[in-house]
Structure 1
Amino acid sequence: MTEEERLVIMDETAIRRALTRIAHEIVEKNKGIDNCVILGIRTRGIYLARRVADRIRDIEGKPVPVSELDITHYRDDRKEAEAADIEVAAALGETDGIPFNVKDKKVILFDDVLYTGRTIRAAMDAIMDCGRPQSIQLAVLVDRGHRELPIRPDFVGKNVPTSKQEEIEVALTDIDGADQVTIINQRGQAG
């Protein structure tokens, strides 16, 4: 039997502040938003990306293109039987409809939690199949460590060192009814 210990580490205010700071950092690093696009990884990454894009519009007075990135066909944890789907999707450049060209753009990739880096690797593969961007920058709400691949975020809302027995859960008002980040500690108990 396991017991869960849950602790809210970011509330609505902390998330809002982190996203505002990330928006300012993106504008500063890129000296504005010319030639920038934002891609949010499905599911929660796109909602965070849209919020950051809104803040950038408020800062710069003009919109930055934002779209959802579906990396389902690029994940390396899918069954071997689905491997043919990955090859077909790559050959067709499928990423479920990015409505703008990423070629020669500064792509800011957004996700909710950075853990092993495998999701980001899959996202970069999907982006590269759509064209060669000038650069890919990574923004995440939470970096929890434990990387398996040499991937480091450019913009971080909160660094949260975790153990492998812990989980980070991001809830967003858009789909979960509330904005909060929770750390969950799974503790085994004899019973």
Structure 2
Amino acid sequence: MATPQKEVSVEEITADFKESSAAVLTEYRGLTVAQLKTLRRSLGADTKYTVVKNTLTGIAAKAAGIDAFDGQLAGPTAIAFIKGDSVAAAKGLTDFAKDNEKLIIKAGFFEGQSMDASQIADLAALESREHQLARVAGVLQAPASAAVRVIDALRLKLEEGAPAAAEAPAEEAAAAEEATPAAEEATPEA
């Protein structure tokens, strides 16, 4: 029989799964409290890294419709529940794991799809949305940027040329009509 405290824990973990766009299952055996604190900080405010009980997590994952962790819930387990930029969080986890070999990335899910450790590493290798936006914003805000000059030139050309382009076919048609009778009059009759 489940105790009320365990039921509450399962409900909380289930809610974390449902509210997250991604989650990564890790084994943290041998990491110190200070290292775990550093890891949590490196993941950012939109990622909740929490130590979980395997049995309760298995129940919560099934309740949330997630099968990515089947067979993976053994040993000291912690999960990163990612609500923000999944790429940045995956990068934070993989970078930390490179520096701290005791952190083992086991499995995860991303937007409803199961992922193994190598797929999580592939996700981490992508450029995060924040970096993409910063890069694009940096290009567009640079006053001497060639891209800005091209975009501004195209915009001006479209603004200036749009009415003229719409009127041009009508003017050409009128000119063609005027030229046609003149051409017929100039042609001698046989």
Q: Structure 1 length normalisation: TM-score?
A: 0.25
Which of the pair has more CA radius of gyration?
2
Q: Which has the higher strand share?
A: 1
User: Larger relative contact order (C-alpha < 8 A, sep ≥ 6)?
Assistant: 1
Q: Structure 2 length normalisation: TM-score?
A: 0.26
Q: Which has the higher helix share?
A: 2
